[in-house]
Structure 1
């Protein structure tokens, strides 16, 4: 298999540099990053390469791991750990982490999955100090664009448990888990990166 044959997401290719610009600052003091929902592995490879001070732990559900591993086998820099299976309703990945990054997962997993992720951050993943969540979000229960509205309809047609989440709901879950919302970064294609840090920001 060549690099051209690897599983590929054009969205990942489009958004990786704008996301990296935020992560460079947000993860400046982080050392071990847990990525939830690594997908094709494009983000993991790119971010690990450009954030050499971080050890990057890619994870995904079991049925995505084959494609993820194919990319890691070809392209992973030395600071990427072997991919692990991670389903928020099942066993945790092994290792100690101080940061979590996830992209385009909150609208794919059911609402209970998002709640479960923050419950883990409150308890079993309490070592994590920084959380960065990328994707589309509603504001005040309103879509921020017509394209997001159409995307939400498409998601809910595919599975009623999917859908774009309210940013305020995510912020509330984070607050219950002990995090303070540091900033909402506006990114291209009507997406945002929500940055959280554990405790009160001085």
Structure 2
């Protein structure tokens, strides 16, 4: 890997576990929107492994140079140029290969606990308009259940998050699932991932 490319070691560690879930649920999808592509490492790994799926990266403007560097380095035919997206303000992108259409899949990793809760709500509101009626959504990261931490390491991580930014926090699964259900998504899978994370998958039924 060239030194100029941004590197998040966690992406290297979790990418294959996430890919196994995506392959189960994205096999019949065509256009996926990644919300918060970060370094771009997930995008190139997943797009290379699923060549029938067109991957569309998005993130806040400060992350775009790194994402673009990864996309250029990989040179994959099934990735679109990275798009600026702040979930709080939009505008939300559309599939570049199918103007006027909506995405039939979306993916987001390690974003909900970094955003403030109002931004999490805004993200699902934006997905409501960006996703097709039969779309699949997959979200990766740490989650609480019933307000309880799943591990002591997640408790420590949550303390670190809140010290860094009081708006950040590990989210309760029930609260996020309510937002998903509010835009017509039904739970398909809640898969255990390494390091006390989850990969949660919903499908739209309207």
User: What is the TM-score of this pair, normalised by structure 2?
Assistant: 0.93
* 2: CA distance, partners of 1:162 / 1:58: 23
Deviations 1:42-95 (A, max 9, x none): 100000000111000011100111111111111141101111001112211233
Q: Counterpart in 2 of 1:93?
A: 93
* 1: CA distance, partners of 2:85 / 2:59: 5
Does the CA-based 8 Å contact 1:36-1:101 persist in structure 2?
yes
Does the CA-based 8 Å contact 1:133-1:194 persist in structure 2?
yes
| Aligned-residue CA RMSD (Å) | 1.3
Q: Which blocks of at least 5 consecutive residues in structure 2 are unaligned?
A: 96-101
Runs of 4+ aligned structure 1 residues displaced above 3 Å come to none
Q: Indicate the structure with greater strand content.
A: 2
Q: Counterpart in 1 of 2:204?
A: 198
Instruction: Map 1:48-63; keep pairs closer than 5 Å.
Output: 48-63=47-62
Does the CA-based 8 Å contact 2:94-2:103 persist in structure 1?
no
| Residue 185 of structure 2 corresponds to residue 189 of structure 1 | no
In structure 2, the CA distance between the partners of 1:72 and 1:199, relative to structure 1 (3 Å rule), is same
Q: Counterpart in 1 of 2:141?
A: 135
Q: Which blocks of at least 5 consecutive residues in structure 1 are unaligned?
A: none
* 2: CA distance, partners of 1:76 / 1:83: 13
User: What is the TM-score of this pair, normalised by structure 1?
Assistant: 0.94
Matched length:
198
Q: Counterpart in 1 of 2:115?
A: 109
Deviations 1:89-140 (A, max 9, x none): 2211233311000000000011111111111223x22416100000000011
Does the CA-based 8 Å contact 1:31-1:54 persist in structure 2?
yes
* 1: CA distance, partners of 2:67 / 2:54: 17
